[in-house]
A and B are shown apart, each in its own frame.
Chain A
């Protein structure tokens, strides 16, 4: 992912980075693709830990899910992908290709003192106050290996992808369910399968299991959370998330769940879903809304709201400077930046005052109020 998906220590978190808890505090464990946090000694994994994505119109959260899974492939973690709409294999085929070139990584890993912005290689002259502002994309100087960069215009090589062990759970292929159980049967099966995989991983091979759950809460999963204002089984989804949380705490797993929030009308349920996760991010796409034509937002594709940051094993978390973040999907990467207004370059301002000046000088003191002598 081009935008930083690194851990909590040091960098300004964009909220998509969290940590999970190791089951044992063994100093000798070293799992590829993980790194202990200096803040609280937890193992960090790039991009995820029960990180919840709320997405207005679904396209961008799917993109982030693909980054999450791609990172898993590159780090050698095991994957578990569950989806109800698109077949998991299809999602896997769309994973972005990692940029193996280290140059791109090294450039951005320079500290704040050296602006890596190619448009302004010298120190800033006019906007010099901004020189000292930390950039959101600060990389940790220590390791470029933690977190990788991806090129979304290309898909991952099949060999690389197939090297990773991936378990998939495709809702529509599972045996038909009977309604009436509190946690609907299909989700029960999902929980059982994920638990088996996670504990097997813990016992046999010390590796991280990355769970990707796509579009949870949509009708295809058998929930009526999206259909009604007061769904009869609204706690089916929240119970599922609670048990998933328990599962993640007892194993070396990380989960990223995407939820189509535009379909869930009941705000209380959405609030509960956010509380049950560790990190929650809302992606608000400008597509189809009036913000699309708003000149303030013309550089971006949407806003990123950090709804919740994790506080695991510590009292306070890495607090970001600002919560006004926006994202854009460029041809090759998905970037997340601090929201800033475009510079006010309107020329009409200066033109108006020029004509007034001319009139003021031409006539004799008829009172151009701006130029009273």
Chain B
């Protein structure tokens, strides 16, 4: 959890907006540090988190979260965190033709044309389960985290199927269960002469329209800099009936135990 980001977004683990769909995207940069932020944020807030880890293994997130002060292993044991080990389990699904019940969520690896219903069922199932663990704890509002959605395009799933999936998730998570959703999408270079019909840019545009808050990470337009890792654009979109449409750009630097955000031109390396 990054305190500076909390103050920018005006939210803390004790008080944050519910029914929020937050879209995190990047172009030629890496926005996964924001996913780590939200993971530790919502776990600290006591929410029940469903994390679809499609590009990294559990131990990777666990190691990072350790530095941010949250233990994923403990959260998983208590039932607060449901983690889908997408990357590692895909190997079995494709090579060993594993069709058991546990691998139903990953059926898209074998047959990407069939859509993401299996994945949605998994999300729905884990969120609807009553949060009472053995200790009788009840968790806060449910949260869905996905890292990252655009890898499904690499596996052959169509943009339409992915957008259907997110729509179903939003209807269930945000509207019905009053929970939150944070999705990471990684975009490519905009190719002026090449209209990419099945691309991540199309996916990102579709998701931006659905979301309440969009965080977009890019490199600095002036080039590579060691002290400022990039810029992040925060776009407050709509919230119920109100349409905000307010945008602000911040610079950031990621370090070992967090990230610092500052207004443009106020990096400590410069001042």
Measured between beta carbons, the chain B residues less than 8 angstroms from A241 are 154
Measured between beta carbons, the chain A residues less than 8 angstroms from B153 are 235, 272
Does A243 have its Cβ within 8 Å of any Cβ on chain B?
Answer: yes
B254–A249 touching, CB < 8 Å: no
B67–A315 touching, CB < 8 Å: yes
Measured between beta carbons, the chain A residues less than 8 angstroms from B63 are 40-41, 313-314
B67–A267 touching, CB < 8 Å: no
Does B77 have its Cβ within 8 Å of any Cβ on chain A?
Answer: no
Q: Which of A182, A245, A268, A315 contacts B87 (CB 8 A)?
A: A245
Bitwise interface map of B from 55 to 70 toward A, beta carbon under 8 Å scored 1, else 0 = 1110110011001100
Measured between beta carbons, the chain A residues less than 8 angstroms from B33 are 315-316
- A192-B95 contact given A271-B189, A275-B186, A315-B36, CB 8 Å threshold: yes
Measured between beta carbons, the chain B residues less than 8 angstroms from A322 are 224, 226
Tell me the bound Cα distance from A272 to B32 in angstroms.
16
B95–A313 touching, CB < 8 Å: no
Query: Looking across the interface, which residue of chain B has its beta carbon closest to that of A245?
Result: B87
Q: Which of B196-255 contact A (CB under 8 A)?
A: 196, 199-200, 224, 226, 229, 254-255
Does B257 have its Cβ within 8 Å of any Cβ on chain A?
Answer: yes
Does A242 have its Cβ within 8 Å of any Cβ on chain B?
Answer: yes
Q: Which of A173-207 contact B (CB under 8 A)?
A: 182-183, 188, 191-192, 195
Interface bin, chain B: 35 or more
Does A139 have its Cβ within 8 Å of any Cβ on chain B?
Answer: no
B155–A242 touching, CB < 8 Å: yes
Bitwise interface map of B from 150 to 161 toward A, beta carbon under 8 Å scored 1, else 0 = 110111100000
Interface centre among A21, A249, A320, A321 (most CB of B within 10 A): A249
B224–A246 touching, CB < 8 Å: no
Measured between beta carbons, the chain B residues less than 8 angstroms from A40 are 63
A268–B199 touching, CB < 8 Å: yes
Bitwise interface map of A from 294 to 318 toward B, beta carbon under 8 Å scored 1, else 0 = 0000000000000010011111100
Measured between beta carbons, the chain A residues less than 8 angstroms from B30 are 308, 311
Tell me the bound Cα distance from A320 to B60 in angstroms.
22
Q: Which of A237-252 contact B (CB under 8 A)?
A: 238-239, 241-243, 245-247, 249-250
Expressed in whole angstroms, the minimum distance between the Cβ of B103 and any Cβ of chain A is 13
Does A361 have its Cβ within 8 Å of any Cβ on chain B?
Answer: no
Does A276 have its Cβ within 8 Å of any Cβ on chain B?
Answer: yes
B57–A242 touching, CB < 8 Å: no
B188–A267 touching, CB < 8 Å: yes
Measured between beta carbons, the chain A residues less than 8 angstroms from B155 are 235, 238-239, 242
Bitwise interface map of A from 30 to 43 toward B, beta carbon under 8 Å scored 1, else 0 = 00000000011100
- A268-B156 contact given A243-B94, A246-B87, CB 8 Å threshold: no
- A250-B95 contact given A268-B199, A268-B200, A271-B189, CB 8 Å threshold: no
Query: Looking across the interface, which residue of chain B has its beta carbon closest to that of A229?
Result: B194
B194–A316 touching, CB < 8 Å: no
B32–A311 touching, CB < 8 Å: yes
Measured between beta carbons, the chain B residues less than 8 angstroms from A41 are 63
B60–A313 touching, CB < 8 Å: yes
Q: Which of B177-196 contact A (CB under 8 A)?
A: 186, 188-189, 191, 194, 196
Measured between beta carbons, the chain A residues less than 8 angstroms from B257 are 315
Query: Looking across the interface, which residue of chain B has its beta carbon closest to that of A250?
Result: B88
Tell me the bound Cα distance from A275 to B199 in angstroms.
14
A249–B57 touching, CB < 8 Å: yes
Does B259 have its Cβ within 8 Å of any Cβ on chain A?
Answer: yes
Q: Which of A235, A250, A312 contacts B91 (CB 8 A)?
A: A250
Does A365 have its Cβ within 8 Å of any Cβ on chain B?
Answer: no
Tell me the bound Cα distance from A183 to B155 in angstroms.
10
Q: Which of A251-271 contact B (CB under 8 A)?
A: 267-268, 271
B95–A188 touching, CB < 8 Å: yes
A242–B36 touching, CB < 8 Å: no
B90–A243 touching, CB < 8 Å: yes
Q: Which of A307-354 contact B (CB under 8 A)?
A: 308, 311-316, 319-323
Interface centre among A188, A243, A250, A268 (most CB of B within 10 A): A268
Q: Which of B139-153 contact A (CB under 8 A)?
A: 150-151, 153
Tell me the bound Cα distance from A249 to B151 in angstroms.
17
Tell me the bound Cα distance from A183 to B154 in angstroms.
12
Q: Which of B68, B151, B189, B226 contacts A242 (CB 8 A)?
A: B151
Tell me the bound Cα distance from A250 to B68 in angstroms.
25
Tell me the bound Cα distance from A182 to B94 in angstroms.
10
Tell me the bound Cα distance from A321 to B89 in angstroms.
37
Q: Which of B85-132 contact A (CB under 8 A)?
A: 87-91, 94-95, 109, 112
Measured between beta carbons, the chain A residues less than 8 angstroms from B134 are none
User: Which residues of B come within 8 Å of A, CB atoms?
Assistant: 30, 32-33, 36, 55-57, 59-60, 63-64, 67-68, 87-91, 94-95, 109, 112, 150-151, 153-156, 186, 188-189, 191, 194, 196, 199-200, 224, 226, 229, 254-259
14 CB < 8 A contacts A-B: A188-B95, A191-B95, A195-B91, A241-B154, A245-B87, A249-B88, A268-B200, A276-B151, A315-B67, A315-B68, A315-B258, A316-B33, A322-B224, A323-B224
In the A-B complex, the 6 residue pairs with the smallest Cβ-Cβ separation, listed nearest first, are A238-B154, A235-B156, A313-B63, A316-B254, A271-B188, A246-B91
